């Protein structure tokens, strides 16, 4: 399966490396798009080494797919995917998606992913952020679009020391969801681990 993995600037970005590794070992073809802030947590080189593919970082830099006939990267990367996973999804990029912004490579590609390709979003953040009314509203807006499969974060002790909802689900659980994702539905809950 061709899995497009979006990584944003959250502390759980290191778990995306494991998602990539697990997916490749399971025989999937993985391509990664990172926000600029994601690269402050994990280097693009790590994802390139794990996936065996170049990472898309910049809408305008030129990262054509070898098999693509289009010179427009955000279109060809969007069309390449059989399923899209954004993990971790930051509160910031979540807000951008809810508002329809496309000001970086990740949000631009996400806007261009054709239906019915499933787009799975796995937000992860501090509990107070997760509980913030503007995040709740943005989640409601995203759900109303009937375009995204939202995976609830799990409750556990977070990197900041707080205990509560906000952690990215286990990489193998997320990979399982992604490879069976078909269409937008109610939020998917993954049990805490």
Ligand X SMILES: Cc1cc2nc3c(=O)[nH]c(=O)nc-3n(C[C@H](O)[C@H](O)[C@H](O)COP(=O)(O)O)c2cc1C
Task: List contacts with ligand X (CB under 6 A).
Answer: 8-12, 35, 37-38, 88, 90-93, 124-125, 129
Which of residues 28 and 90 has its CB atom nearest to ligand X in the complex? 90
List, by residue number, the catalytic residues: 160
- Cβ atoms of 19 and 175 closer than 8 Å: yes
Least distance in Å: CB of 10 to ligand X? Answer: 3
Which of residues 9 and 184 has its CB atom nearest to ligand X in the complex? 9
Tokens 């059989």 sit on residue? 82
Which of these, 99, 102, 120, 116, lies nearest to 60 by C-alpha position? 102
**CA–CA–CA angle 130, 136, 139 (5° rounding):** 105
- Cβ atoms of 86 and 10 closer than 8 Å: no
- Residue environment code for 73-102, b if the CB has 16+ CB neighbours within 10 A, otherwise e: bbbbbbebbebbbbbbbbbebbbbbbeeeb
Least distance in Å: CB of 168 to ligand X? Answer: 8
Least distance in Å: CB of 181 to ligand X? Answer: 22
Which of residues 46 and 90 has its CB atom nearest to ligand X in the complex? 90
Least distance in Å: CB of 103 to ligand X? Answer: 9
Kindly report the backbone phi and psi dihedral angles of residue 81, in degrees, each rounded to the nearest multiple of 5, phi listed first. -70, 140
Which of residues 85 and 124 has its CB atom nearest to ligand X in the complex? 124
């Amino acid at each position: 399966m061709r899995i497009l993995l979006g990584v944003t600037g959250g502390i759980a970005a290191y778990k995306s490396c494991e998602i990539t590794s697990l997916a490749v070992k399971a025989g999937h073809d993985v391509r990664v798009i990172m926000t600029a802030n994601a690269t402050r947590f994990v280097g693009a080189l790590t994802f390139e080494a794990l996936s065996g593919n170049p990472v898309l970082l910049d809408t305008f830099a030129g990262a054509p797919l070898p098999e693509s006939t289009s010179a427009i990267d955000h279109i060809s990367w969007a069309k390449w995917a059989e399923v899209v996973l954004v993990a971790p999804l930051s509160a910031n990029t979540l807000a951008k998606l809810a508002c329809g912004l496309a000001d970086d490579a990740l949000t631009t590609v996400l806007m261009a992913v054709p239906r019915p390709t499933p787009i799975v979003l796995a937000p992860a953040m501090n509990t107070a952020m997760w509980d913030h009314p503007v995040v709740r509203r943005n989640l409601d807006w995203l759900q109303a679009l009937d375009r995204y499969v939202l995976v609830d974060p799990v409750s556990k002790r977070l990197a900041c020391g707080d205990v509560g909802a906000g952690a990215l689900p286990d990489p193998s659980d997320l990979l399982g969801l992604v490879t069976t994702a078909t269409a937008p539905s109610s939020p998917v809950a993954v049990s805490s681990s």
